[in-house]
């Protein structure tokens, strides 16, 4: 052990240095903890994105944007305390093949927590082969899931003039996809709307503004199990 004035001074300096280093280490650990918490919070906030990925049925075709069911969904989420942001990437006229090309960029850009897949109607209206539509939609679902998003598949029905064989096959396509990919399915997006002329536009394909709240009511109970407050 050191003795004498110089020895005492040396011991004092060493003790002070050790205490200082210990305090700095504690401060550093605390700062690192705060940083990690902040990053986790930022990640969670960034992940509260719902990507609406569809065609004219989700793009408020023929209406003001704020009248569409996707815009109404954003308002309902906020009113019920769900802190999610809706990104409506729906495009009128979109097909499953076009959607497949666009999706990777959207996933990388937005990192959505939930993807609402509403595609296939334009494929069906063009009479495209059902296996092609199936494969495109299956790939879209796979991409979204691989990116860490939950998927809600929105089923579509075609007008009766396409014949029962094609129509039935088209309707079954969505239930097959949901079963294969193990994702929830809204059986028919326009349930309670499509056959009511008062709720449909003159083209018989798109809802009027009065029908959009009913579309949202159809989607809502299937979506809420995928959300967190």
Supply the mean pLDDT for the chain. 87
pLDDT at 46 exceeding the cut of 60: no
Q: Which residue has the tokens 């210990």?
A: 22
Q: Is 115 exposed, middle or buried (0-12, 13-18, 19+ CB in 10 A)?
A: buried
Which position among 52, 55, 90, 206 bears the catalytic label?
206
Q: Per residue in 150-187, pLDDT tens?
A: 999 999 999 988 889 999 999 999 999 999 999 999 99
Q: Is 111 a catalytic residue?
A: no
Which position among 3, 79, 146, 203 bears the catalytic label?
203
Q: Per residue in 185-202, pLDDT tens?
A: 999 999 999 999 999 999
Whole-angstrom Cα distance, residue 211 to residue 190? 9
Q: Per residue in 11-43, pLDDT tens?
A: 544 545 546 555 545 545 445 544 443 444 344
CATH number of 47-226: 3.40.50.1110
Task: Name the residue among 80, 54, 84 with its Cα closest to residue 69.
Answer: 54
What is the band of 113 on the pLDDT scale with cuts at 50, 70, 90? Answer: very high
Whole-angstrom Cα distance, residue 41 to residue 59? 31
Domain ranges of the chain: 1-46, 47-226
Q: Is 56 a catalytic residue?
A: yes
Q: Is 48 exposed, middle or buried (0-12, 13-18, 19+ CB in 10 A)?
A: middle
């Amino acid at each position: 052990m050191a003795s004498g004035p110089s020895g005492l001074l040396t011991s004092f300096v060493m003790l002070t240095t050790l205490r200082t280093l210990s305090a700095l280490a504690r401060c550093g650990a605390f700062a690192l903890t705060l940083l990690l918490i902040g990053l986790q919070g930022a990640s969670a906030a960034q992940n509260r994105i719902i990507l609406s990925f569809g065609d004219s049925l989700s793009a408020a075709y023929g209406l003001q944007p704020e009248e569409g069911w996707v815009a109404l969904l954003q308002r309902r989420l906020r009113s019920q305390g769900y802190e999610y942001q809706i990104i409506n990437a729906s495009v009128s006229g979109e097909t499953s093949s076009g959607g497949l090309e666009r999706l990777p960029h959207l996933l990388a850009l937005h990192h959505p927590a939930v993807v609402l897949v509403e595609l296939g109607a334009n494929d069906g209206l063009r009479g495209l082969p059902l296996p092609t539509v199936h494969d495109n939609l299956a790939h879209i679902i796979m991409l979204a899931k691989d990116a860490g998003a939950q998927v809600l598949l929105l089923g579509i029905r075609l007008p009766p003039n396409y014949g029962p064989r094609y129509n039935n096959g088209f309707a079954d396509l969505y239930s097959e996809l949901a079963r294969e990919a193990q994702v929830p399915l809204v059986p028919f997006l326009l349930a309670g709307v499509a056959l009511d002329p008062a709720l449909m536009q003159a083209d018989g394909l798109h809802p009027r503004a009065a029908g959009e709240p009913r579309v949202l009511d159809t989607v809502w109970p299937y979506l809420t199990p995928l959300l967190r407050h």
